[in-house]
């Protein structure tokens, strides 16, 4: 089942835009990035060149990045990756036909 990602989302009361588009050099410091959380721009960017079945996982990872940033949790990147994967598994199993 395809997930319909929102165009905007509130993260802890702060409105963020969500864009799925190809990245260019100005988007990321790291060439390997597939998703970006921009606190200053209040944006979540997802690289459109990635397979669409990965977009929900990237989206949840970037939401986790946002929570980490807003709450100043100082989580390590591997912890954010694990949480993003965990959230994806929960929602995939609850919100898609795969759960049946």
For 33-78, how does the pLDDT look when each residue is reduced to its tens digit (9 = 90+)? 899 999 999 999 999 999 999 999 999 999 999 999 999 999 999 9
Buried-state track 47-65, b at ≥16 Cβ within 10 A, e below 16: beebeeeebbbbbbbbbbb
Domain ranges for the chain, please list them.
8-99
- Answer whether 0.85 is exceeded by the pTM: yes
Q: What distance in Å separates the CA atoms of residue 68 and residue 89, rounded to the nearest whole number?
A: 20
Mean pLDDT of all residues in 11-22: 97
Q: Where are the alpha helices (DSSP H) in the chain?
A: 55-70, 77-95
Please name the fold of domain 8-99. Zincin-like (3.30.2010)
Phi, psi of 50 (to 5 degrees): -80, 150
Q: What distance in Å separates the CA atoms of residue 54 and residue 2, rounded to the nearest whole number?
A: 11
């Amino acid at each position: 089942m395809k997930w319909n990602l929102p165009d905007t989302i509130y993260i802890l009361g702060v409105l963020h835009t969500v864009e799925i588009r190809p990245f260019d050099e100005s988007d990321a410091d790291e060439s390997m990035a597939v998703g970006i959380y921009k606190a200053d721009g209040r944006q979540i960017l997802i690289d459109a060149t990635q397979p669409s079945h990965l977009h929900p996982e990237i989206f949840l990872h970037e939401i986790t990045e946002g929570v980490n940033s807003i709450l100043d949790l100082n989580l390590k990147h591997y912890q954010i990756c694990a949480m993003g994967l965990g959230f994806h598994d929960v929602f995939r199993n609850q919100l898609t036909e795969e759960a049946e």
